[in-house]
A = this chain, B = another copy of it.
Amino acid sequence: MILSRIILGLLAIAPLSGADLKRHFDSTVNHFWSADKAQIYRTLAALVAEGLASVTVVPGTGAPDSQEHRITDAGRAALVAWLTSELDRQPERDAFIARIFLAESLDDEAVGRLLELRRSAALGQLAALEAIEASTGPARTRGEHLRLATLDHGLRHVRTELEWLDIVEEQLP
């Protein structure tokens, strides 16, 4: 459900193929959602079956043909309906924090290793977010403004994560 609406939202910005979408889920929107390619193609097929999107085959130049999907009017309506619907409560899920919570049988060194792994993951995210930030100019349209705000959201949380790691590591020895 959520994935289908996110895809619809991306199609509302521009027509895309399954491979294009996969690229988005691996980069620009990766900071709030990701998706397996199998799932993307199946969702796309479902959207077409429901009449929320349409397909046209675009002959590939030096690459396989791609199936460009565009949002339909019904699709736009479904998108707005979702955007304004009740917020789906989302469960927090953080396996790393779970480990720290349960780590009493580990020695300081092992906990330190876990923290270091988390730090490098966080630094990776930070770099990815900064790369996106650098590659987008200043917000000119309403849409760009909103997208920048979500980028900022990601950056703030990653920085908070790094600060927390500093503090916890300091307390360890």
Give A residues with C-beta under 8 Å from B. 2, 5-6, 9-10, 12-13, 29-34, 76, 79-80, 82-84, 87-106, 110-111, 113-114, 117-118, 121, 141-143, 145-147, 149-150, 152-154, 156-157, 160-161, 163-164, 167-168, 171
Inter-subunit contact A117/B87 (CB<8 Å): yes
B32/A92 in contact, CB under 8 A: yes
Are B2 and A95 in contact (CB-based, < 8 A)? Answer: yes
Residue A101 contacts which of B32, B97, B99, B114 (CB distance < 8 angstroms)? B32
Q: Determine the distance from Cα of A152 to Cα of B92 in the docked complex, in whole angstroms.
A: 15
Query: Quick one: given A97-B32, A97-B153, are A143 and B104 in contact (CB under 8 Å)?
Result: yes
Cα-based distance from A100 to B102 in the complex (angstroms)? 35
Q: Which of B5, B6, B33, B149 contacts A171 (CB 8 A)?
A: B149
In the bound complex, residues from chain B placing their C-beta under 8 Å from that of A30 are 92
**A90 touching B83, Cβ below 8 Å:** no
Cα separation A114 to B168 with both chains bound (whole Å): 34
Residue pair A146, B111 in contact (C-beta under 8 Å)? yes
Given A32-B92, A92-B30, do A146 and B84 touch, yes or no (CB 8 Å)?
Answer: no
Q: A96 — which chain B residues lie within 8 A by C-beta?
A: 87, 90
Give A110 to B82 CA distance when docked, in angstroms. 12
Distance A99 CA – B85 CA, assembled complex (angstroms): 10
A93 touches B92 (CB 8 A): no
